[in-house]
Chains A and B, each alone.
Chain A
Amino acid sequence: MSNRFLSIEGLSKSYPSKSGELVVFEDVNIGIDKGEFVCIIGHSGCGKSTILNVLAGLDTPSSGNVIMDGKEVSGPSLDRGVVFQNYSLLPWLTTLQNVAFGVKARWPKWSKEKVNEHSSRFLEMVGLGHSLQKKPSELSGGMRQRVSIARAFATSPKLLLLDEPFGALDALTRGIIQEELIKIWAETHQTVFMITHDVDEAILLADRILLMTNGPQARVAESVKISIPRPRSRAEIIETPAYYKIRNYLVNFLVARSGSLSGSSGSAASETREVDPTLLSSDADNGGEKDSVAPAQPRAVNNY
């Protein structure tokens, strides 16, 4: 674990509450390799954003530590770019200036021309080459999110942290930006850690999906490998049989097992299980646990 690009070791977060400590999550261990795209899924309130903020250096854990590239994370850094759920663009700056804001911070010695040239290149990558001089208030939600993605990628961080970046977008726009994200990621080969609520989105984008149990005392219960070959496109992956196998597995976890596994923080249970749903025999779709609550139902898939 410790020789990976990013390793999160024994992380926990608790808040003081009336009835003693409220443990949001505990004993979270995650290892991520360089260039890997990892998504994390879990029910609302289980602590995903908190983990991401700890990785960003914006929040401190109650215990445990985060080591990136051999160095302990102790505060915010340009090595870790963040795309916040609400875009967080600076509204008084134009699109170009917003991206240049990051670029200037990253390379303070660059000339103005170089900064602008570099920034507009990334804005063109996300299809906003024609809106360089617009203010965020003149952009649609999807366009703002693309600016925010361009800002994060333009600073070439070693690790990209995305907190539900497409949560506020309609399905159509989301699809377009997801494909753009894959394109940039393929070009830049950055390491990405992304929170999402959308199972399909996670399968499309991720090499690995981390599944969290419900809080309080949430844990990362499983790490699901997505073996569908790349390049993937929205239209094509739904044709592959592996897609449904993975999807059923994930939905089953979210619907049934995320609840039943929660709170059981025995030392044996705290290990994160590594799973590849495509290798499971079909009657073991539910994760191969005999005592699990319900097998995956097609109905559940359609409703989720």
Chain B
Amino acid sequence: MASLNVKAVIVSLLILLVGLGVWEALNQPPAASGEMTEYERLMGGADQEARVPPPSQVLSHAFDELSDPFYDAGPNDKGIGIQLAYSLYRVLTGFIAAALVAIPLGFLIGMSPLMYRALNPFIQVLRPISPLAWMPLALFVIKDSEQSAIFVIFICSIWPMLINTAFGVANVRKDWIRVAQTHELGALKTAFLVILPAAAPTILTGMRISIGIAWLVIVAAEMLVGGTGIGYYVWNEWNNLDLNSVIFSILMIGLIGMLLDLVLGSLAKLVKYEE
């Protein structure tokens, strides 16, 4: 097993090196030999800004940014750490609010066939709506871009958690419910001592899907509402034609997304059980 892991790491590193090498090689400035194209002439002959920067530049830029991630020099110039913190704050607020609604509601739907049937049509209609489609309505009703972004996160995180909770609760083995019944557990104790632990792995899978979607959506939402956050940052740097920063922040988005998934993955391990 260990040797397999070691091999995998070596292969990963090789792929990384080859990828970076190809990228670096393809991005050498064109030899100043031939004539300038009309476009180049129009652009003043300087193509430095328009090219995708090579990895060496991105890395040195990343190093600069990460050495002082929390600087704050006005509304349009904040460190990547501050921007990520804004985004994380919105994602976590919306996500936690969604969990507080989705998990109890999912319990209700999972335990009561009546509520399942009654609520199912609403869920089926609301679920396929792109979360960003809510944005105009949210801005109009809430009148606050920050809270509208949080609302969009809320609405996109709620469905996977709701559906997984309902599914997990409805599919708790009848035998375990019978164990609760024969021990005269009341409804509340049955819910907490039997149904919740039994459904917890399914619920956590839903939470994991939700946080993944929330992290995808926040970037787009912040591009729309602007102001702060990693999504705004990417768009702003694009407007500045600072591709070093754009690529750097893309990498950071991936990294934070992976960390969020890792956290929920380890929570899922805690509640996992084998039958």
Q: Using CB atoms and an 8 Å cutoff, list the residues of chain A in contact with chain B.
A: 56-58, 76-78, 80-82, 84, 86, 88, 90-92, 101-102, 105-106, 135-137, 155
Contact A76-B184, Cβ < 8 Å, known A84-B178, A92-B197: yes
Decide if B275 is an interface residue (CB 8 Å cutoff). Answer: yes
Contact A86-B275, Cβ < 8 Å, known A76-B182, A105-B185: no
What are 23 of the A-B contact pairs (CB < 8 Å)? A56-B182, A58-B182, A76-B184, A77-B184, A78-B182, A78-B184, A81-B182, A84-B175, A84-B178, A84-B179, A88-B179, A90-B176, A90-B179, A90-B194, A90-B197, A91-B274, A92-B200, A92-B271, A101-B193, A135-B274, A136-B275, A137-B274, A155-B183
How far does the Cβ of B274 sit from chain A's closest Cβ, in whole Å?
Answer: 4
| Residues of chain B lying within 8 A (CB to CB) of residue A82 | 178, 182
Closest to A93 in B: B197
Q: How many residues of B contact A (CB 8 A)?
A: 18
Contact A92-B273, Cβ < 8 Å, known A56-B182, A58-B181, A105-B183: yes
| Residues of chain B lying within 8 A (CB to CB) of residue A136 | 275
| Residues of chain A lying within 8 A (CB to CB) of residue B176 | 88, 90
Decide if B217 is an interface residue (CB 8 Å cutoff). Answer: no
| Residues of chain B lying within 8 A (CB to CB) of residue A58 | 178, 181-182
- Interface SS, A side: loop
Contacting residue for B273 out of A56, A76, A91, A155, CB 8 A: A91
CA distance A86 to B194 in the complex (A): 17
Decide if B207 is an interface residue (CB 8 Å cutoff). Answer: no
B residues 193-241 in Cβ contact with A at 8 Å: 193-194, 197-198, 200
Contacting residue for A91 out of B181, B183, B185, B275, CB 8 A: B275
CA distance A57 to B273 in the complex (A): 29
Contacting residue for A101 out of B175, B183, B184, CB 8 A: B183
How far does the Cβ of B127 sit from chain A's closest Cβ, in whole Å?
Answer: 30
CA distance A86 to B268 in the complex (A): 27
Closest 8 CB pairs of A and B: A137-B274, A105-B183, A92-B273, A88-B175, A76-B181, A91-B273, A76-B182, A92-B197
Closest to B173 in A: A88
| Residues of chain A lying within 8 A (CB to CB) of residue B178 | 58, 76, 82, 84, 88
